[in-house]
Amino acid sequence: MNSSRKSTEPNRAGCLTAFLVPMLVLSQLFGCGPHATLTPTPVPSTPTLTSTPRPTPPALAAGWEGITLHTLCLEVTQTYFDIEPGFSQPLAEYIQKMLEQISVDIIQPGQSCEASLTIQLIGVPLSGSYIAAGRCYTGATIYGHALFTALGRDPLWIPMDETDPVDNASLGCNKPQEAPFFSLWSVAINKVLLRLWGKPFLLSNQDQFRTGELDLLEEASRKVPALIQGLLDPDPYKRAQAASGLEGFSMYGASAIPALQQALSDDDPWVRQWVAKALAAIVPVGPQARDVSQALIDAIHRSIRIPDSSVPVGEVYARAAEVAALERCAPTEQSIQVLIEALGDKESEVQIEAYQALEHLPAALPALIKALDDPNADRRSDAAHVLGGFRSMAREVVPKLTVLLKDEDKIVRRSAIYALENFGPEAITAVPMLIEILHDPDKDLRKAGASALGEIGPGASEAVPMLIEILYNPDRDLREAGVSALGEIGPGAREAVPRLIELLDDKEIPAIYITHTLAVITRRSFGEDRAAWQAWWDQQK
């Protein structure tokens, strides 16, 4: 449930009884003190205060153009990683406040409404390590989608994806819950509502947008028609310029969607690259999204069919941009399958775009889980790699990834380990199988397994005996991985203390790694003084 915003008591200093009646009326209107009242006056010429009729809500500008809504049901689901349960942000209150400005009412659960808006949002705090301050959460990323539905109408699906990168320097050390989530989700919500209601929404909520937003909208209304014509220019360079210009106007270039869809058949790959980028920035919704999605799929398939020997560089970048744009359209079974296939593309640029697209598409979960059973090892490995980003669905994903730890293909096992590592403590059920990985003949897999156990943390304490055994391995990287994992497990790894003290004489592992692990496990600190550590340990025995 979303937390409510605290109200701030207004300043009463301006509510002076000596003011004339018109000023008293203004005080009453603008809340100048919770007890401000309109004092009776014998002056007969005083105008009577009458209520102003509520404005009619503006018609929708996208998807359901021309439809006017007065009431809306709202459902908000928010998930935050690496933060204590119960943390939430006031998304519902914020949306209600913004829609009140255009006379659209949020209806309480259980009551009837004309349409429904569902928000699903995932937030991840981003951290950096700073001298003296340590690990601080100065950045964040949010992703998810908004789904607008009504009986008898095409659903309107709008993606949300905003990132505030980690600061290079930190003036204060934020905790995970203090990461800059508000500045991200408020921008994402503004974009969704602006995409749906257009200019009237912007005019009613200008204080919530960056300076110059209205100017950008007005500029788009003047320039977009010419840019649409530019897509037909005989010169491919000018066609690419026109598409690039439309990308800059993002959602304000929505009237160009049909022309951009046609331009996906352009013979020049550099033109198609900018066309795909423009479509991704504009975000087609409703029936247009379905049509654009199919046009993108067709363009991707045409590009794939080009023989390897004659693929120009521009074709690679065009295909990568088309894959990225496909994520911005409402997901379908066909589009998800195309994205999964793109994970195995010959070009790394395309693979990266496909991975990033699928990682933020919960709707892709069934297809990705199905791909874990694919006869092709590369397909299984790719699917496992992507599923590592589905942390909000750990209950469904972790058991499937755990089974892959016994896959006959080494690369598949490695992908499963890396994916499980991303789930951290939520992968605790995989601990027994990860312990078995510590016996794998492949050194890199054993190292990855130790790292995954460390990310699971205290819940992986049953792995301590095997991790201690790794500390005797002649390979430096394995010993270091064992030291790190034991430190993450913490006090539950106390039986490793004797061997860790011995490792203070290890010339290959930096002593600071070992002393840090010892300090975390024992809650003591004797620096790199092995004698002091040994004396303290002897006393404990």
Confidence of residue 101 (pLDDT cuts 50, 70, 90): very high
Mean pLDDT across 297-317? 83
Confidence of residue 19 (pLDDT cuts 50, 70, 90): very low
Q: Is residue 506 part of a domain?
A: yes
Mean pLDDT across 504-526? 92
pLDDT at 540 over 90: no
pLDDT at 32 over 80: no
Q: Is residue 15 part of a domain?
A: yes
Q: Is residue 93 part of a domain?
A: yes
Percent of the chain with pLDDT over 90: 74
Question: Is the domain of 409 the same as that of 373?
Answer: yes
Question: Is the domain of 402 the same as that of 481?
Answer: no
Task: Quote the pLDDT of residue 419.
Answer: 96
Question: Is the domain of 468 the same as that of 416?
Answer: no
Task: Quote the pLDDT of residue 132.
Answer: 60
In whole numbers, what is the pLDDT of the chain averaged over residues? Answer: 87
Task: Quote the pLDDT of residue 381.
Answer: 96
Confidence of residue 133 (pLDDT cuts 50, 70, 90): low
Q: Is residue 62 part of a domain?
A: no
pLDDT at 42 over 60: no
Q: Is residue 483 part of a domain?
A: yes
Task: Quote the pLDDT of residue 312.
Answer: 74
More confident residue, 310 or 417: 417
- DSSP symbols for 375-414: SSHHHHHHHHHHHTT-GGGHHHHHHHHHHHTT-SSHHHHH
- Let me know: does 36 contact 80? Beta carbons within 8 Å: no
- Looking up residue 233, the CATH number of its domain turns out to be 1.25.40
Question: Is the domain of 368 the same as that of 342?
Answer: yes
pLDDT at 89 over 70: yes
Which of 102, 110, 270, 59 shows the shortest CA–CA distance to 190? 102
Task: Quote the pLDDT of residue 309.
Answer: 58
- Looking up residue 89, the CATH number of its domain turns out to be 3.30.160
Q: Is residue 258 part of a domain?
A: yes
pLDDT at 207 over 60: yes
Task: Quote the pLDDT of residue 78.
Answer: 95
Question: How many domains does the chain contain in total?
Answer: 5
User: What is the pTM assigned to this prediction?
Assistant: 0.80
Question: Is the domain of 47 the same as that of 82?
Answer: no
Task: Quote the pLDDT of residue 262.
Answer: 97
Confidence of residue 360 (pLDDT cuts 50, 70, 90): confident
Q: Is residue 375 part of a domain?
A: yes
Mean pLDDT across 132-158? 89
Question: Is the domain of 88 the same as that of 157?
Answer: yes
β partners of residue 158:
146
- Tens-digit pLDDT profile for residues 259-292: 999 999 999 999 999 999 999 999 999 899 999 9
Mean pLDDT across 10-16? 36
The tokens describing 245, both together, are: 């210009």
Taking CA 526 as the corner, what is the angle to CA 524 and CA 528, rounded to the nearest 5 degrees? 135
Mean pLDDT across 79-99? 93
- DSSP symbols for 143-192: EEEEEEE-TTS--EEEEEEEEEPPPSS-SS---GGGSS-HHHHHHHHHHH
The least confident of 29-43, 217-231, 498-512 is 29-43
Question: Is the domain of 140 the same as that of 185?
Answer: yes
Alpha carbon distances (Å) from 99 to 70, 110, 193, 252: 10, 20, 8, 20
Q: Is residue 230 part of a domain?
A: yes
pLDDT at 479 over 50: yes
Confidence of residue 305 (pLDDT cuts 50, 70, 90): confident
More confident residue, 27 or 494: 494
Helix 313-327 crosses helix 269-282 at what angle (to 10 degrees)?
A: 20
Question: Is the domain of 89 the same as that of 125?
Answer: yes
Q: Domain residues for 261?
A: 210-304+317-322
Confidence of residue 9 (pLDDT cuts 50, 70, 90): very low
Question: Is the domain of 108 the same as that of 193?
Answer: yes
